[in-house]
Amino acid sequence: MVTTMEMWDEFMNRPSVECLDLFGDEYKKSGESSDLYNHNLVLLDIGNWKRAKINCETIIKKSEHTCDADFIKMGMLEWFLHNTSSAIDFWKQALNAEYTDLVGPIDGPLVLWYAGLQLDDDKLIRSSLKKLKRFWKVTEYRKIVKWPGTQAIAGFLLGEVPAEDFLNKWKVSNDIYEHRRLCRANFWVGMTLLGSSEDKAIQHFKAAFSENKIAILQYEYFLAKWEYARLTKQNLWSDKKIEE
């Protein structure tokens, strides 16, 4: 009998497209949302966003409580499908979700800031930064010892934490979580560099999604992959091409 851990190890060490049936079949057998979530990670990584959107809708319907991560992923899929207004609507719903996947603040304001920057929407940027200010109640960031997750990103986007410290100060001893932290940090640094140094932004986006596949557990992994493909015009998916 193949265990979920064995399947996950296989997914980490093989091209995602080769694991599509592996996770799909597991969900058909179990009907569990956790297995559908794993299947969706594969779909997202190979660029099958329409099918991933259907799965994400099912996950939300089956959930007893609303979670900001589900709305963020749903909005992200709409964004990839060029349904901009719908993406923003889902990201706004993330602001009022009952639960968050991570300890600390919700991530809704972060993805809304991302949308505002990409759409050159000053009003959306300002409102997102206003919400992020509620998360950053720190008088001296150097006193923070452990990676504070979304709070750290809020401080960085608000200009309270230098990029070098943001990337390197709060390293995590656990390798898995360190790869996930670096994915998040590199993506947001890349976003702030778009207007001044596109080449450096591209480097950070590539680092966010290519250093270690375990970062696939962060939504920033997919956004970084999207931005890298958009800027370099490379097709990183098996059945998709980046369009303007």
Q: What is the pLDDT of residues 136-161, one digit of tens each?
A: 888 888 888 889 899 999 999 999 99
Confidence grade of residue 135 (pLDDT, cut at 50, 70, 90): confident
219-229: average pLDDT: 97
Q: How far apart are CA 111 and CA 90, in angstroms?
A: 10
* 207 vs 106: which has the higher pLDDT: 207
The two three-digit tokens of residue 111, written as one number? 């993805």
What are 99's strand-pairing partners? 67
pLDDT at 241 over 60: no
In this structure, the number of other CB atoms found within 10 A of the CB of residue 164 comes to 9
Collect all residues with Cβ–Cβ distance below 8 Å to 200 and sequence separation of at least 6.
190, 193
Nearest to 174 by CA among 136, 223, 212, 208: 212
Q: How far apart are CA 210 and CA 186, in angstroms?
A: 11
In this structure, the number of other CB atoms found within 10 A of the CB of residue 57 comes to 13
pLDDT at 243 over 60: no
Tens-digit pLDDT profile for residues 35-54: 888 999 999 999 999 999 99
Answer for the pair 228, 234: CB distance below 8 angstroms, yes or no.
yes
Least confident range of 121-125, 138-142, 180-184, 187-191: 138-142
Least confident range of 75-84, 94-103, 169-178: 94-103
Predicted local distance difference test score (pLDDT) of residue 137:
83
Instruction: Give the chain's length.
Output: 244
Predicted local distance difference test score (pLDDT) of residue 195:
87
Backbone angles phi, psi at 239, to 5 degrees: -135, 25
pLDDT at 79 over 80: yes
Least confident range of 75-89, 102-116, 148-162, 198-212: 102-116
Predicted local distance difference test score (pLDDT) of residue 242:
45
The two three-digit tokens of residue 178, written as one number? 């360190």
Instruction: Kindly report the pTM of this predicted structure.
Output: 0.93
What are 61's strand-pairing partners? none
153-176: average pLDDT: 93
Q: How far apart are CA 29 and CA 23, in angstroms?
A: 10
Predicted local distance difference test score (pLDDT) of residue 2:
52
What are 67's strand-pairing partners? 99
In this structure, the number of other CB atoms found within 10 A of the CB of residue 123 comes to 8
Calculate helix-pair angle for 150-157, 122-133, nearest 10 degrees. Answer: 130
